[in-house]
Structure 1
Amino acid sequence: MMNGIKSSPCNMPYLPDDLLLNILGRVSRLYYPILSLVSKRFRSLVGSLELYKIRTLLGRRTENCLYLSLRFSYGSNPRWFTLCRRPTRTPSPEPNLKSRWFTSCFRPILTDRTRATSKEEKKLSGNLMVSIPTSNYCPLSGLTCNTIGSYIYMIGGYINGVLSSRVFFLDCRSHTWHEAPSMQVARKSPLVNVLDGKIYVVEGWRGSDYSNLIEIFDPKTQKWEHVPSPSAEMRGRYISKCLVYEEKLYLFGDKNVVYKPKENRWDALGFDMNLWLVSYGSSCVIDNVCYMVFYKRLIWYDSEGRYWRVLKGLEKLPKLRHRRSCIRMVDYGGKIAILWEKKVRVVGSDKKMIWCAEIALERRNAQEIYGKIEWCDVVLTVPKSCSLLEFIAVTI
């Protein structure tokens, strides 16, 4: 009450679109998945390209967003999730605990796993993975992906049981699928990396035609180009891992080679370089340093000494699983985002938890890099039958 005039709260749903877009443009994108639950109108505004034009005009920097792809049963289509942050609020003296809005947005995600104690509840960081609805459908299955800007490119796989050369990409601003130009060759086991703004696709299947080993896609010209293969003396029978490091493309298998795009040249690598160890674990490259998970520890590659060192300062990080299929790590804006599976230790449980952690990095000298855990939490609980496909950082 002010001077006898009763004030009334602002009714957000009835504000004009241009004003709402201006407000939403000032909010971190980490809250957009939660805001899209408010109403169909909010969902439409949050997924509009106009919102990102306004964010640019407002001078907001691009943000790094995490995306996760899961397959819940054999033969089913992948489902996509994105990391969001549960908003904080001042607790109401008499909260409506039965409210659908309260339940979905503010209550800790404790279902489908053991009841947490009050001490555990306090540890919840407020980060969780939420399913994203897409306005259309990507027909590829068994695919591999990588990112350029705000697009996730889906490459290789099958359509109706037939190996396909078609390529699709997800626009992570509007969560809509689009089709890109098809590859020159349908690939059974493509390994995908991005180098100098171009997508390199390498066929990893043993017994493949080496004359069509690699092709690259330039998003600017929307064209695919062929890359000459290494000589018969250099190449091996198969390729298990490819890595972009120091502006070069490394291929690891029973033989190791490196492609130098600026010179358009292949060189053989000896096993003494030790970088080939990335074939045995999940890895990522940040500020020209390669990190990976090896035997439940995070290590980094010392390019001068040509050996791997332990990433220090992570004593409080939960134990990681050794299986590569259960762990993923990516460059998350100069930090490590690592995601892994962990069983629910309850007799008869058919669930498993997906953990995620964000780790800041500090190089103290030539031989020491320390990690600092920014947050670490269970972000999703899924059935044991669920398979971890892709974990990707997108710049939006």
Structure 2
Amino acid sequence: MRVARASATAQVVNGKIYVLGGCKDRRSADWGEVFDPKTQTWAALTVSEPMPDEEDPDTRPRMSLIHGSVVIEDKIYVIDFWNRTFFYSLSQCKWGRGSPARLESHSLNRRGWCVVDNVLYSVGNDGCIHWCEPHELDRCAGLGINWTELLCHPMKQLQNKLLRSRVAHYGGKMARVWEKTTRNFTKCLEDILPGAKLASSGHNVVVFWKELLPEKSVRIWCAEYSFISSKWGLIYGVLECSNAILTLDPILDRSKVLYSISVDV
């Protein structure tokens, strides 16, 4: 790769792999790069015009803090730590500004963004899975993204499991860690928000989370959900399956699911 990156996000579009974030953001030319499997070469992300250099830091992404991305039509949206969205337009070869962050508490930070059947999903550190229309990612949608919580009894059960997953690495000492990280902004905060991984799998969503066992080992769980839309515009989650897929004994240092991908076999 052209630029050293850590915890970058990647998407496949038209057979090419676009890698974004995980780097210092001094030059917009370094914000992303693209790999062509046919030629086995990396290239800089083509930028026809740089984003305006305004004083307001809310006008450009912090590429060192990008934690997710989704592809909608010809745009690759990136999401930063504060749930602000920016996009790279493949057709226009330039960066643009999406929705700003809503004035929400830290308990509503969200991760694991994915698109299924033209609906956007994410999981929050409150243990809930939320959805919204993709157009909410654009600036014209107003002040922030209007998320709606998925409904049904299995989702409430999953919420409790995802909440407990957050403290798996800290032995129940969540309050002390949270107090420390909110006073001093550190990367430790990233590890406790929200403690689960969300990914698309065909027309469904797959959720990964971890469970701390009494014998101080960690078990990784996976659940798959399908969705039903109601005539009132609400979406209900339907549990298709839920299984423990891996046990780590002894606990590896701050182990967690980093990436997941759906493949046809």
TM-score range, shorter chain: 0.5 to 0.7
Residue matched to 2:67: 241
Pick closer, same or farther for the CA change 1:279–1:288 going to 2, 3 Å: farther
The CA deviation at 1:297 is: 0.8
Q: Secondary structure at the match of 2:262?
A: strand
Q: Distance in 2 between matches of 1:316 and 1:242?
A: 25
**TM-score normalised by structure 2 residue count:** 0.67
Following superposition, the deviation at residue 342 of structure 1 comes to 1.1
Deviations 1:139-181 (A, max 9, x none): xxxxxxxxxxxxxxxxxxxxxxxxxxxxxxxxxxxxxxxxxxx
Amino acid at match of 2:60: R
Counterpart pick for 2:244 among 366, 378, 384:
378
Q: Do the aligned residues in 1 keep the contact of 2:121 with 2:132 (CA within 8 Å)?
A: yes
User: Percent identity among equivalent residues?
Assistant: 28
Q: Determine the C-alpha separation between the residues in 1 that align with 2:110 and 2:229.
A: 25
- The superposition leaves residues 45-73 of structure 1 with CA deviations (integer Å, 9 ceiling, x where unpaired) of xxxxxxxxxxxxxxxxxxxxxxxxxxxxx
In structure 1, give the amino acid aligned to 2:100: F
Looking at both structures, which has the greater relative contact order when contacts are Cα pairs under 8 Å and sequence separation is at least 6? 1
| Conserved 8 A contact 2:4-2:23 | no
Which secondary structure state, in structure 2, belongs to the residue aligned with residue 317 of structure 1? Answer: helix
Distance 1:200 1:297, change over 3 A: same
The letter for the 2-side match of 1:249 is I
1:394 lines up with 2:263 in the alignment = yes
TM-score for the superposition, normalised by structure 1:
0.47
TM-superposed CA distance for 1:351, in Å, is 0.8
Q: Distance in 1 between matches of 2:120 and 2:79?
A: 15
Q: Please state how far the C-alpha of 1:325 moved relative to its aligned partner.
A: 6.2
Change (3 A) 1:223 1:371: same
The alignment status of 1:202 with 2:20, answered yes or no, reads yes
Aligned-residue RMSD, C-alpha? 3.0
Q: CA shift at 1:352, angstroms?
A: 1.8
Aligned residues: 209
Deviation digits for residues 13-61 of structure 1 (CA, Å, limit 9, x no counterpart): xxxxxxxxxxxxxxxxxxxxxxxxxxxxxxxxxxxxxxxxxxxxxxxxx
8 Å contact 1:252–1:279 — kept in the other structure? no
Shift of 1:237: 4.1
Distance in 2 (CA, whole Å) between partners of 1:332 and 1:237 is 29
Which residue is 1:285 aligned to?
A: 115
Higher normalized strand content (fraction of residues): 1
Letter of the structure 2 residue corresponding to residue 393 of structure 1: S
Shift of 1:316: 5.9
1:365–1:227 Cα change, 3 Å:
farther
Is the Cα–Cα contact under 8 Å of residues 33 and 42 in structure 2 kept in the other structure? yes
Give structure 1 stretches of 5+ with no counterpart. 1-182
CA distance in structure 2 between the partners assigned to 1:245 and 1:273 by the alignment = 21
Change in Cα spacing, 1:365 to 1:245, as seen in structure 2 (3 Å) is: farther
